[in-house]
Amino acid sequence: MNKKLAEKIAIITGGAAGIGFATARLFLEEGATVAICDINSQKVDAAVGELSPFGPVKGFVVDIAKKEMCESMVTQLVAEFGRVDILINNAGITEDAQFYKMTEEQFDRVLDVNLKGTFNMSKAVIPFMMEQKYGKIVHASSVSAYNGNFGQTNYAASKAAIIGMTRVMGKELGKYGINVNAIAPGSIMTDMYKAVPEEAKQKKLASIPLRRYGEPREAAQLFAFLASDESSYITAQSITIDGGFN
């Protein structure tokens, strides 16, 4: 059976847990060489240990809000493998508070990681993708960009901005053979989401037409489709995966 990501070199940010980890595993199963990065070194080591039976995986400790760390990771990867084919900008954080209580630090930190981090990683890979006339970049947005989850002014702003970035990047980079898209997940049952109070989860469930939460692997499958040549004529798009919630 042909593997849809055979011989591709892929970077997945936030790859040590949740959707990023599920995506890394699926990419390995589909034949890619995968580099994951995360800010926590213990989580990176543990993830590489768990993922290594599925294929070639490398781990990097990177704070994507820091441009130099992003550039260093990409430079090391290209030095070893000669190219980078796929970037999955999955890493993101939340620091929720109602707007009138939200501090400037909370706002800045979420924008620094979610939005500036996406910018930093994209800037690091694009020169190599332009040179090789090939690349797939997929950003993680969120349904919060559309419906504005309560207490998430900073998060919704960052994820809405990513949709705008996706449209422009897709238009600008198409002539270089680079596809840029985004996925906008709804309620995906990651460890982070499991921590939500049960009452809140049940209330949310009632508003999802499919009457269930998404699994990390389902989001990973959409990432894999957009990272593969099966989606070769799709660019500058944001695709929602939320069971019909939005």
Which ranges of the chain does DSSP label H, i.e. alpha helix? 18-29, 41-51, 67-81, 104-110, 117-132, 144-147, 153-173, 191-194, 198-205, 216-227
In degrees and rounded to multiples of 5, residue 93 shows phi and psi of -135, 165
Q: Which residue among 134, 155, 176, 233 is the active-site one?
A: 155
Tokens found for residue 10: 């892929």
Number of C-beta neighbours around residue 209 at 10 A: 9
Exposed / middle / buried, residue 127 (Cβ in 10 Å: 0-12, 13-18, 19+): exposed
155 is catalytic: yes
DSSP state letters, 42-64: HHHHHHHHHHGGGS-EEEEE--T
- C-alpha 129/C-alpha 181 separation (Å) is 15
Q: Which residues are catalytic?
A: 155
